[in-house]
Amino acid sequence: MQISRNISLQPYNTFGIEALAENFAVIETIEDIATISKLTKQYQQWHLLGGGSNILFTDNLSGLTLYNQVKGIFIVQEDETTVLIKAFAGEKWNDLVQFCLQHNFAGVENLSLIPGSVGAAPIQNIGAYGVELKDVLEYVEAYHLDKHETEIFSNKACRFGYRDSIFKQQYKNRLLIVAITLRLNKIPKLVIGYGSLQQQLEKMGIVKPTIQQVAEAVNIIRTNKLPDPAKIGNAGSFFKNPTISKFRLHVLSEQYADIPGFALDEMNFKISAAWLIEQAGWKGKREGNVGCNPLQPLVIVNYGGATGKEIYNFSEAIIQSVKQKFGIELEREVNIW
Ligand code: FAD
Ligand code: NAP
């Protein structure tokens, strides 16, 4: 593997932020992974980069930045009802979804069109329209950058939560995800209860959708609502949806009758962060080159030329404003580097 110095990361992040990687190496083959130990020993700090669709660069990156491009998608095992699919980390997530749709393997159709790499999918347990990676993930193969050994993490060992996993916590920047294996169904169990998905399928006049039609409906909603990073820099939802207690929701709903809450269990509710941000007056607001998306206020956009620090400060102003109005502290979903 070759190390390049002072590489511009602008093409490597969907916000389109300019930042430099002091040392940059592309992992192209499985054999490269075996030689990583020689490299990582030389550096104090490592950064693991995928498609850069969930990262905000606020500074240059010191140490070593590893860009995993190892590709391959294989059927590992199958019987009449289920199939195990292994995909290497450097594949695009949506190419894996396309592979599954082409082979009629069900389970990831709701996760269609999510940008980024396969290797990053377990990091925040990607999710959309009522499905999360944890619902289909069998195991993750990862390489310990400090111990220099490979470990297999079962679904349970990944400690998946809402936009969370062990890789985002305890093993943050210490484990290189090499491949994931999914368990998919040959007999679909569709998840189409999400309001916007149901409405889109109705609009398309579809009562009993195929997995391909579910993916198509998801693609239509996403394309209409989300800014295309190729045209306007963004990293999807900037904040997580906060969780509050049933009591707190009750108190808030006395003042804000239409506050959207989704029950997580008997005592806790998920609140729409987009709604909180809109109520705090940020929807469509622009300050210089940074703005809050007019269609989906959870998305912060770079209208061109914004720095990572400007975007970070804009996000901080949103957090403070929502806190002041509702007493709820929003947490960033995007990784700040
Ligand atoms: P990066 O942004 O490169 O990295 C994200 C994190 O993963 C970093 O901490 C990085 O160190 C780590 N990482 C990356 N690769 C590896 C690896 N091989 N080993 C170890 N660590 C690694 N997310 C959702 O959950 N649901 C959505 O519906 C969704 N929609 C989006 C829509 C848009 C328009 C955009 C721009 C983003 C959206 N996202 C969504 C966020 C993002 O696409 C996902 O979080 C995605 O999984 C990030 O992948 P990436 O390869 O770009 O990761
Ligand atoms: P939406 O449909 O307008 O819904 C707003 C919020 O309410 C969502 O965040 C969703 O939470 C929640 N919600 C809606 N219906 C729900 C239901 N039936 N049960 C439980 N929760 C419900 O959301 P959107 O912004 O258009 O996004 C649609 C989906 O794509 C969401 O799942 C969202 O997470 C995902 N998405 C994620 C990103 C990202 O970068 N992370 C970007 C775009 C879209 P959840 O977010 O928990 O699902």
Q: What pLDDT was estimated at residue 142?
A: 97
pLDDT at 99: 98
Domains parsed from the chain with CATH numbers: 3-68 (3.30.43.10), 73-185 (3.30.465.10), 233-336 (3.90.78.10)
Pocket of ligand 1 contains residue 296 by CB under 6 Å: no
Residues 125-148: what's their mean pLDDT?
96
pLDDT for 209 equals: 98
Residue matched to tokens 């396309």: 98
Position 33 scores a pLDDT of 87
Interval 268-298: pLDDT, tens? 999 999 999 999 999 999 999 999 999 999 9
Nearest protein CA to atom 1 of ligand 1, as residue = 52
Mean pLDDT of 88-110: 98
Output the residue whose Cα is nearest ligand 1's atom 43.
115
Ligand in nearest proximity to the CA of 241: 2
Catalytic residue among 53, 109, 117, 163: 163
Best of 237, 243, 330 for a ligand 2 pocket test (most atoms within 8 Å of beta carbon): 237
Q: Does 237 sit in the ligand 2 pocket, CB within 6 Å?
A: yes
- On the question of pLDDT at 217 being above 90, the answer is yes
Token code pair at residue 112:
């269609």
Q: What is the mean pLDDT of residues 229-238?
A: 97
pLDDT score, position 109: 98
Q: Which atom of ligand 1 is nearest to the CA of 121?
A: 47
pLDDT of 230 above 90: yes
To the query of whether residue 278 is one of the catalytic residues in this protein, the response is no
| Cβ-Cβ contacts under 8 Å for 195 (sequence gap 6 or more) | none
Using the atom order of ligand 1, give the atom closest to the CA of residue 227. Answer: 34
What is the per-residue pLDDT for 207? 94
User: Relative to the CA of 12, which ligand 1 atom is closest?
Assistant: 3
- Residue 291: predicted pLDDT: 98
DSSP β-ladder status, 175-185 and 243-245: unpaired
Alpha carbon nearest to ligand 2 atom 18, residue: 194
pLDDT at 64 over 90: yes
Does residue 235 have its Cβ closer than 6 Å to ligand 1? yes
| Torsion sign over Cα 104, 108, 114, 120 | negative
Predicted TM-score (pTM) of the model is 0.96
pLDDT-derived band at 152, boundaries 50, 70, 90: very high
Question: Does 333 participate in catalysis according to the annotation?
Answer: yes
Best probe residue, ligand 1, of 123, 218, 241, 301 (max atoms within 8 Å of C-beta) = 123
**Cβ of 192 less than 6 Å from ligand 1:** no
**Whether the predicted pLDDT of 307 surpasses 90:** yes
Q: Is 113 in the pocket of ligand 2 (CB under 6 A)?
A: no
pLDDT in the model for residue 215: 98
Q: Is the CB of 334 under 6 A from ligand 2?
A: no
* pLDDT for residue 117 is more than 90: yes
CA gap 115, 97 in Å, rounded: 11
Going from the Cα of 268 to the center of ligand 2, the distance in angstroms, rounded, reads 17
pLDDT class for 42, splitting at 50, 70, 90?
A: confident
pLDDT for 175 equals: 94
226 C-beta closer than 6 A to ligand 1: yes
* Residue to mutate (ligand 1; options 56, 58, 114, 118; most atoms within 8 A of CB): 114
Q: Which residue type sits at 326?
A: F
219's enclosing H/E stretch is: helix 211-225
pLDDT at 185 exceeding the cut of 90: yes
Mean pLDDT (the chain) is 96
- Got the DSSP string for 52-90? SSSEE--S-EEEEEEEE----EEEEEE-SSEEEEEEETT
The dihedral sign for the CA sequence 150, 53, 276, 271 = negative
Is any ligand 2 atom within 6 A of the Cβ of residue 296?
yes
